[in-house]
């Protein structure tokens, strides 16, 4: 899901800072070797430490990705509980990895589909609070959180969440879909004026998307 231009997580930024700092230390020791008792021995140990650190991080990412693959295979096979167990293991053992971020959102989806809205909400909130945003994951988690609120009867809060999503992703088809969900929520609340205004906005702003056809059909029924 993530692309090459995505922002690094806090952990990854810290890893980069560690490596850069270690490299600067190596350069400094090389330039001032006569002032260090350890001299070349110190440089060797620093380089060994950097290499071990990098290899460890690469291994963690690889292992996390493999576990995410197991989770997806279980989910596709209909083994929902196994997928959830694997996802939670991934969260615990490889926190901060890209695979863990993806697993967190997927866990939210799985729990939502199981009707466990509180657990699903916890996973979506976990991603939004603890991971650097990746557009597709952030959009999925934000929509998931709004859907959890809606499913638990917190319709007004859900409508507000959907409107926030629409504003944040203005111009994308996903924003039009969020506005449609918000309109539906206001319909449940009996606020026909707000519902109509949102549907008209979808028609005006997203005319090139199929969602506008649906909005036009719904507004004609009011």
Residue ranges per domain, the chain? 8-133, 153-222
pLDDT band at 198 (very low <50, low <70, confident <90, very high): very high
222 close to 195: Cβ distance less than 8 angstroms: yes
CA distance 189 to 152: 14
The answer to whether residue 124 scores a pLDDT higher than 80 is: yes
Pick the more confident residue, 44 or 161. 161
The percent of residues in the chain predicted with pLDDT above 70, rounded, is 74
The percent of residues in the chain predicted with pLDDT above 90, rounded, is 61
pLDDT of residue 52: 39
Q: How many CA atoms lie within 13 A of 168 on its CB side?
A: 15
80: burial class by Cβ within 10 Å (0-12, 13-18, 19+)? middle
The answer to whether residue 48 scores a pLDDT higher than 50 is: no
The answer to whether residue 14 scores a pLDDT higher than 70 is: no
Q: How many CB atoms lie within 10 A of CB 187?
A: 19
Q: What is the gyration radius of the CA atoms in the chain, in angstroms?
A: 24
The residue-averaged pLDDT of 63-79 equals 90
Domain 8-133 belongs to what architecture?
Answer: Alpha Horseshoe (1.25)
pLDDT of residue 129: 94
């Amino acid at each position: 899901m993530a692309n090459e231009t995505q922002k690094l997580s806090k952990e990854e930024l810290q890893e980069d800072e560690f490596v850069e700092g270690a490299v600067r230390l190596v350069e400094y020791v090389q330039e001032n070797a006569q002032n260090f008792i350890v001299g070349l021995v110190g440089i060797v140990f620093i380089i060994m430490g950097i290499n071990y650190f990098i290899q460890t991080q690469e291994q963690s990412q690889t292992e996390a990705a493999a576990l995410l693959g197991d989770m997806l295979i279980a989910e596709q096979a209909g083994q929902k509980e196994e997928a959830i167990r694997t996802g939670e293991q991934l969260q615990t053992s490889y926190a901060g990895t890209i695979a863990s971020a993806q697993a967190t959102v997927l866990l939210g989806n799985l729990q939502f589909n199981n009707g466990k809205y509180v657990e699903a909400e916890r996973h979506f909130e976990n991603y939004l609070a603890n991971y650097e945003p990746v557009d597709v994951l952030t959009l999925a988690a934000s929509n998931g959180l709004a859907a959890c609120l809606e499913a638990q009867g917190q319709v007004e809060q859900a409508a507000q969440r959907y409107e926030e999503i629409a504003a944040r992703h203005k111009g994308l088809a996903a924003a039009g879909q969020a506005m449609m969900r918000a309109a539906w929520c206001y319909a449940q609340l009996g606020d026909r004026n707000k519902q109509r205004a949102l549907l008209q906005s979808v028609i005006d702003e997203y005319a090139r998307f199929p969602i506008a056809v649906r909005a036009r059909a719904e507004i004609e029924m009011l």
